[in-house]
Structure 1
Amino acid sequence: MEWLSSLLTEHSVIQAVIVVSLVSAVGLALGKISMWGVSLGVTFVFFVGIMAGHFGLSIDPQMLNYAESFGLIIFVYALGVQVGPGFFSSLGKGGLKLNMLAMLVVLLGIVMTLGFHWFTGVSLPDMVGILSGAVTNTPALGAAQQTLKQLNDPAIQQSDLALGCAVAYPLGVVGVILAVIFVRKLFASSIFFKKSDEDSHKKTVVMGFLVSNPGVSGKTIQEIARQSSKKFVVSRLWRDEKVIIPASDTVVREGDCLLMITTEGDVEALTMLIGKRDTRDWNKEDIDWDAIDSQLVSHRIVITRPEINGKRLGALRLRNQYGINITRIYRAGIVLLPTPDLTLQLGDRLTVVGEESAIAKVENVVGNAVKDLDEPNLVAVFIGMVLGLLLGSIPLTIPGISFPVKLGLAGGPIVMGILVGAFGPRIHMVTYTTISANLMLRALGLSMYLACLGLDAGTHFFETVFRPEGALWVGLGFTITVIPVILVAAVSIKWMKIDFGSVAGMLCGSMSNPMALNYVNSTVDSDTPSVAYATVYPLTMFVRVIMAQVILMLFL
């Protein structure tokens, strides 16, 4: 067994790979354990690394630095590519209010961090590490570490950031959940919880309607749509036992049966508008749509042509040119109502109803080359990371700072990832990867980074925790987690009249806390938390990574 002992303890390339792999494997396995509905996921790799470092397991410092840096680069770049397509649209009118509130959460955390630094005497690097753990944001921790390396001050212990993050992280995860529970209890009687129930009706459903209202008989579908404020799509129209694909100028007659896609909340209003509701359940998963009518078929096709990315559905004029109907659009597990003003993205899956030959023509228009998506374009990934590192190396002059500032290993790749994800398809750069491929890249990079980070921090972790300042760090981190969440929640619900589901999702996104989002989704019967989370996550992630660096550069 001596050879096995030497393989784990004597520094070499093989030993470094084995140690990092073992720490990652054990951490990922333990991260699946759920307690009270909460699990740490990949973050458990960090704590396994700390334990391994505490018991003396180490790897060559150069190998440690390389694996930690490369893992961080892969993770933040893949993260940027993921959030890129929705980054700039999240800043639009619909998400502006939520993003402003999320920025308020970020600002309060920064102010509290600086205040605690000045009033308690905890060093600024330690406080930045505590802030990163309190808001469960490891990319910000990596960015701050790279900034300290740029400062090149030997008096600064870079591992202090990781120690502060490790101490604050567990209560950072739990603290958001506890704060959300407190807010729910505090505002349980508020009418805005009822509004959250109304938002549960935004789920997309398929309903059948029998035309019996003389007010709509003899009108075109376009005229009916103008007459109603509700959004809907007419998928099929049955008349005299024949089915047709209706166009906007199709005239509706009494006795027609319309198969419509709408939202749950609009069903009653459309029933009053059209006449009667069909009693059949059209939302069962086992419906054979192709067997419903012999003339038409239903196919799901994928947008793979880069030039379609960013275009509005109505601008393609697919219904008018090919006589088909798009009934649903699937994006990241969410069903979207295919309205003409919906902006399409690469990877969207369209449910198309029409004749076989017409659907084949639509496939040529949007691509449907699923193989192109299943095989990630690694050339674009590596080029993007190179460009991100070049961007991170550009010196930037900021007033008040005596030396040039660089985005570094974390800031440069995440900015470039966002830009590539948002604008790459417009320059015919295939940047789309499947959700599983992107998750693989992110999980691989984050596991490598957290394993090395834990190994580095583990040597002095317990010495720090069991000192008097260790308890102080835990208290400061928990305060930074809970207070901004409660204050912004109160402002959002009480004064800005935003429903609880959106507020809870926004808070989870602003704190980069998917574990808390899982809890919220289990308690709110709608998809509003997930939508709000996705709306604020890109901007807050970007701002936290940049601000972690700016705080050190301005105040250290």
Structure 2
Amino acid sequence: MDVIHTWLREVFATPSVLQTLVMLTLVSAVGLVMGKLRIGKLSLGITFVFFVGILAAHFGVKVNVEMNSFAQTLGLTLFVYALGVEVGPSFFPSLKKQGLLYNVLGLMLIVTGLLLVVILHYTCGVSMPNMLGIMSGAVTNTPMLAAVQSTLQDLLGASGTREVADLALACALTYPLGVVGVILAIMVLHYIDPNRGKSPNELEAKTTYITELELTNPALFGKTVLETVGLIKKKFIISRIWRGETLIIPSSHTVLEAGDHLLILIHKDDLPILETFFGHRAESRDWNRPDIDWDAIDAQLISKRIIITNSKVNGVKLGALRLRNQYGINITRIDRAGIEILATPELRLQLGDRLTVVGELQQLTKVSAYLGDSINTLDKPKLVSFFVGLAFGCILGSIPIAIPGLSMPIKLGLAGGPIVMGILMGAFGARFRLATYMSNSATQLIKQLGIIIYLAGLGLASGAHFFETIIHGDGLLWISLGFLITVLPTLLVGLTSLFGYKKTHAETVGLLCGAMANSMALEYAMSINESRSSSVAYAIVYPVAMFVRIISAQILLSFFV
């Protein structure tokens, strides 16, 4: 019995490498099971791992400090780097056109929240580290918490252990109402929505717009498609030409004639200019209906989704492939990491891009073989570029950056450095023929594994004083301040979007959830909106907002500590 007792103590009680690994995995497993519990439509998901860790620490579980710190750091870097690689391909395209306004509104929410944090810091006497911990929970952003913790540890060194723990407690206290507060704001905005009751199709916003124009401009008669494109700076794609009863798939050498009906893909904002350039609209149907059957429109043509999996195409400009001239097909749109991109000649293709291609079946088969279109190829992880990028991200995070007005330089840290490098690798890796694409399942696995390990370690490290803080400390004050930080900026920006910029409720709540990194509130928003605009706006705003929150919180902390 003594042997068994000793063995049990070594495995579960005595802080060591083994015991720390066992406790981290047990806390993670229990937290994931508990995270599946729902109250109505609400669930804390993997965040429950954090609270299970807090409970374990409260009831006396202690782990090896150095090992736990390493586990948190490893989990954090894996999460933020994988996040950067995932959103990198769509990061810069999201800053254009409609996405620019979404991101401006998202940044408005972030800046408003930071200003509110500074005001409450002075009026309520709460320290800036604790205010940023409160904000991390209020906006449900644990990567932001990790970044602030890392910066605070660098600033205070070993003497800041308790401050770092209090910061995590502040996040834990405000996190639940951070979820609920956004949902309450969504309810309020839904109730006062001026477009309430209108059909989703009437309000749906698209990244690309399809229109049919009749060519009536004499200056373009006899011009080739290539010559026509060079006459105007606006970007557009002519995907079909109807000349009487004849259907033409245009190449760059196709000559335009009077009366041609052109099916053109454009940015919707450019429609008035292109109408003046080509001629009046002559639409025989609604080309932008989501349920339109393209194959039934032209029996001899079909449309097909083709995935770029040929590494030789990675980083090559679309125009350089000359697919239209060689195969007589048209690429009408490109989906990159959930963002729809206009297929312009100067666009560089990346592994994982999904192309919508129109043409004859025989030609589409040839194009499909050339571009790859093999999901099995994408399932093989590109680990060399992953680890190289992760290493450079850690190095980047350690570089001191001097900012005027600060007594000491700041660092991006192990949260900021890897996410910046991940975004750069995802966005520009293809230009250097680096295969940075990871399948969605691989990306989600790395992200989930990283954040779960981080949350488990964080809970075990900070949970000993959790209930003490609520009962005898400033816990109730922190919860109240967190609720204000959640609701006030959300409602302010939501009202600005609905009434100032005339955005739909679906678009508005999507960008709000993206700026708050609140996927749980997004699920609720999508349940009351029969529109994909919420998920599109979320995907556009999320990467920029995540990056700005991580960096801005560190800068703000450096000014006040």
TM over 0.5: yes
Q: 1:344 to 1:182 in 2, by over 3 A?
A: farther
Per-residue deviation, residues 383-433 of structure 1 (Å, max 9, x unmatched): 111101111111111112222221111111111111111111111111110
**How far apart, in 1, do the equivalents of 2:25 and 2:474 lie?**
33
1:240-269, Cα deviation, whole Å (9 max, x unpaired):
9x99867685999x9xxx999999xx9xxx
Q: 1:167 maps to what in 2?
A: 173
2:13 matched to which residue of 1?
Answer: 9
Q: Give the distance between the partners of 2:428 and 2:188, measured in 1 at CA.
A: 41
By how many angstroms is 1:363 displaced? 3.9
**1:35 CA drift (Å):** 2.2
Residue type of the alignment partner of 1:123: S
**Letter paired with 2:190:** R
1:149-181: CA deviations, max 9, x gaps? 111261562101110000010111111111111
Change in 2 beyond 3 A, CA 1:427/1:313 = closer
Deviation at 1:83, TM superposition (A): 1.4
Which moved further from structure 2: 463-472 or 353-362? Answer: 353-362
| Cα distance, 1:335–1:404 mapped onto 2, change above 3 Å | closer
- Counterpart of 1:30 (choices 30, 34, 56) is 34
CA distance in 1, matches of 2:203, 2:342: 15
2:121 counterpart of 1:117: yes
User: Residue 153 and residue 36 in structure 1: after superposition, are their counterparts in 2 closer, same or farther (change >3 A)?
Assistant: same
Aligned-pair CA distance for 1:4? 4.0
1:447 aligned partner: 452
TM superposition shift of 1:381: 1.2
Unaligned runs of 5+ in 1: 267-271
Given that 2:32 and 2:46 are in contact with CA atoms closer than 8 Å, whether structure 1 keeps it comes out as yes
- Distance in 1 separating the partners of 2:27 and 2:244: 65
2:355 alignment partner, SS class: strand
Question: CA shift at 1:62, angstroms?
Answer: 1.0
What is the deviation of 1:368? 3.5
Q: Which secondary structure state, in structure 2, belongs to the residue aligned with residue 350 of structure 1?
A: strand
Match of 1:89 among 83, 93, 98: 93
Give the aligned CA root-mean-square deviation in angstroms. 4.3
2:520 to 515, 520, 531: 515
Contact 1:306 1:425 in 2 (8 A): no
* Contact 1:196-1:500 within 8 A present in 2 as well: no
Whether the 8 Å contact between 1:192 and 1:493 is mirrored in structure 2 is no
Q: Which one of the candidate residues 167, 178, 187 is aligned to 2:184?
A: 178
User: Where in structure 2 are the equivalents of 1:94-493 lying within 5 Å?
Assistant: 94-151=98-155, 152=157, 154=159, 157=162, 158-186=164-192, 188=193, 190-191=194-195, 194=198, 198-200=202-204, 202=206, 249=254, 273=282, 275=284, 300-305=305-310, 308=313, 316-326=321-331, 329-332=334-337, 344-352=349-357, 354=359, 358-359=363-364, 361-363=366-368, 365-368=370-373, 370-467=375-472, 469-493=474-498
- Shift of residue 27, structure 1, vs aligned partner: 1.4
Q: Can you give the 5+ residue segments of structure 2 that lack an aligned partner in the other structure?
A: 272-280
How many pairs are equivalent?
Answer: 536
SS of aligned partner of 1:24: helix
Q: How far apart in 1 are the matches of 2:499 and 2:315?
A: 36
Cα deviation for residue 234 of structure 1 reads: 5.8
Whole-Å Cα distance in 1 between the matches of residues 208 and 40 of structure 2? 31
SS at match of 1:301: strand
Amino acid corresponding to residue 7 of structure 1 in structure 2: V
Most deviating of 362-371 and 405-414: 362-371
Contact 1:192 1:497 in 2 (8 A): no
Deviation at 1:483, TM superposition (A): 0.3
1:291-333: CA deviations, max 9, x gaps? x77xx77754311356756777566442222123446655446
Q: Which residue of 1 aligns with 2:277?
A: none
**1:548 corresponds to 2:553:** yes
The answer (yes or no) to whether the contact 1:235–1:326 under 8 Å persists in 2 is no
CA distance in 2, matches of 1:125, 1:283: 53
Distance 1:504 1:78 in 2: 26
Indicate if the aligned counterparts of 2:168 and 2:458 stay in contact, CA closer than 8 A: yes
Label 1:214 to 1:80 Cα distance change in 2 as closer, same or farther (>3 A).
closer
Cα-to-partner distance string for 1:54-74 (whole Å, 9 max, x where unaligned): 122222111101100100010
**CA 1:333–1:402: 2 relative to 1, 3 Å:** closer
Q: Which residue of 1 aligns with 2:274?
A: none
Q: Quickly say closer, same or farther: Cα 1:239–1:395, change in 2 above 3 A.
A: same
CA deviation map 1:445-494 (0-9, x unaligned): 00000000011111111111223511111100010000000111122222
Tell whether the 8 Å contact from 2:339 to 2:536 is kept in structure 1 after alignment.
no
1:90–1:535: 8 Å Cα contact kept in structure 2?
A: yes
8 Å Cα contact 1:233/1:262 also seen in 2: no
Distance in 2 between residues matched to 1:360 and 1:275, nearest whole Å: 30
1:59 aligns with 2:63: yes
Describe the SS at the equivalent of 1:464: helix
| Alpha-carbon distance, 1:50 to partner | 1.1
Note closer, same or farther for the CA distance 1:97–1:193 as it changes in structure 2 (3 Å cut). farther
SS at match of 1:36: coil
Q: Which amino acid aligns with 1:179?
A: A
* Contact 2:315 2:349 (C-alpha < 8 Å) held by counterparts: yes
Aligned-partner Cα distance in 2 for 1:14–1:431: 34
TM-score between both structures, scaled by the size of structure 1: 0.82
**Do the aligned residues in 2 keep the contact of 1:306 with 1:429 (CA within 8 Å)?**
no
Q: Who is 1:269 aligned against? A: none
Partners of 2:350 and 2:362 lie apart in 1 by: 24
| Kept in 1: contact 2:378–2:439 (CA 8 A) | yes
The answer to whether the 8 Å contact 1:506/1:529 transfers is: yes
Larger displacement relative to structure 2 (84-93 or 436-445): 84-93
Residues 90 and 339 of structure 2 are in contact (CA less than 8 Å); yes or no, is this contact kept in structure 1? no
Report the alpha carbon displacement of residue 437 of structure 1 after superposing the two structures with TM.
0.8
Tell me whether 1:503 sits opposite 2:503 in the alignment.
no
Q: Retained in 2: the 8 A contact 1:235–1:261?
A: no
Could you say if the C-alpha distance between residues 511 and 309 of structure 1 is closer, same or farther in structure 2, counting changes exceeding 3 Å?
farther
Shift of residue 377 of structure 1?
1.0
Counterpart contact for 1:91–1:99, Cα < 8 Å: yes
Return closer, same or farther for 1:275/1:127 CA change in 2, 3 Å cut-off: closer
**TM-score, with structure 2 as normaliser:** 0.82
What residue is the counterpart of 2:72 in the other structure?
68
Q: Give CA deviations for 1:216-260 in whole Å, capped at 9, x if unaligned.
A: xxx9998xx99xx9x9976899999x99867685999x9xxx999
